[in-house]
Amino acid sequence: MQQGKINTPRPTLAQLLVVLGKNLRTERERKGYSQERFAEIAGFHRTYIGLVERGEQNITIQSYSKFAEALDMSIYELMQRTLLDFSPRHSMFDVTRNVVITDFEEAMFSSLNELVFIIGMDGKIVYSNFSVTHKLGYVPEELISKPLFEVHPEVCRDEIDECLYNILNGISSYCSVPFKTKSGSIVPVESRVYHGFWDKSPVVCNVCRELSV
């Protein structure tokens, strides 16, 4: 079934960075931290925090994770607050899943170099970002509703089943099982997962950093 889409302008990376920075500043100030104190807690230089808050600095998911930890939040909570700040009129309706995904949400995940999977509590893939397509060779339509274990080497089936069980049940938030590209190549990764909600349903956000070999 073809995916339907409302033709609305997609936010640019610059717009995303401005919104991310503004919301980081809001949460920092809500906690009562000065830039200097927050930078110290998060492990960054104050100048870097200032650039991020002004939307002048590109950031990685690892940096954003450190920001969230310093604010006593999960990264998904911090991202969700950012998503809610963007105008809802920029939306994409995916008829294959009967849900609405904001263009901002998709563009934010798509701008990350890390591989991002949103996984339902049934272990099936709900969403994958552009890096998954680029690095693993699958198009998004191939992955929707596919069990996560199918993008891992078959020899790792028992390992990924155990890892996925631990992740979905909140026992673990880390996984190092490699991925398998569509052509069969092995891609070693380090994955962190964050629990949250996608279209009001509980999911885990699996953020995977490719390891150099």
Per-residue model confidence as pLDDT tens digits over 60-85:
777 888 898 899 887 766 776 555 44
Output the CA–CA distances (angstroms, integers) from residue 122 to 70, 88, 163, in the order listed.
31, 28, 14
What pLDDT is attached to residue 42? 94
Pairing of strands 174-175, 125-128: unpaired
Region 44-69: mean pLDDT is 90
What pLDDT is attached to residue 174? 82
Q: Which residues contact 123 (CB under 8 A, 6 or more apart)?
A: 147, 148, 149, 164, 168
What pLDDT is attached to residue 209? 83
Region 77-105: mean pLDDT is 44
- Looking at CATH, the fold of the domain delimited by 1-111 is given as 434 Repressor (Amino-terminal Domain) (1.10.260)
And the tokens for 33?
A: 């931290």
Give residue limits of the domains in the chain.
1-111, 113-210
The answer to whether 208 and 171 are in contact (CB under 8 A) is no
Q: What percent of the chain has pLDDT over 90?
A: 34
Q: Hey, which residues does 198 pair with through a beta bridge?
A: 201
Phi, psi of 189 (to 5 degrees): -140, 165
Tens digits of residue pLDDT in 162-195: 998 888 888 888 888 999 999 999 999 988 887 7
What is the rounded average pLDDT for all residues in the chain? Answer: 78
Q: Please state, in angstroms and rounded to a whole number, the distance separating the CA atoms of residues 189 and 160.
A: 13
- Say what the pTM is: 0.56
What pLDDT is attached to residue 75? 73
- Its CATH architecture, for the domain 113-210, is 2-Layer Sandwich (3.30)
Q: What percent of the chain has pLDDT over 70?
A: 77
The answer to whether 75 and 68 are in contact (CB under 8 A) is yes
Report the 3 state secondary structure along the chain: CCCCCCCCCCCCHHHHHHHHHHHHHHHHHHCCCCHHHHHHHHCCCHHHHHHHHCCCCCCCHHHHHHHHHHCCCCHHHHHHHHHHHCCCCCEEEECCCCEEEEHHHHHHHHCCCCEEEEEECCCEEEEECHHHHHHHCCCHHHHCCCEHHHHCCHHHHHHHHHHHHHHHCCCCCEECCCEECCCCCEECEEEEEEEEEECCEEEEEEEEEECCC
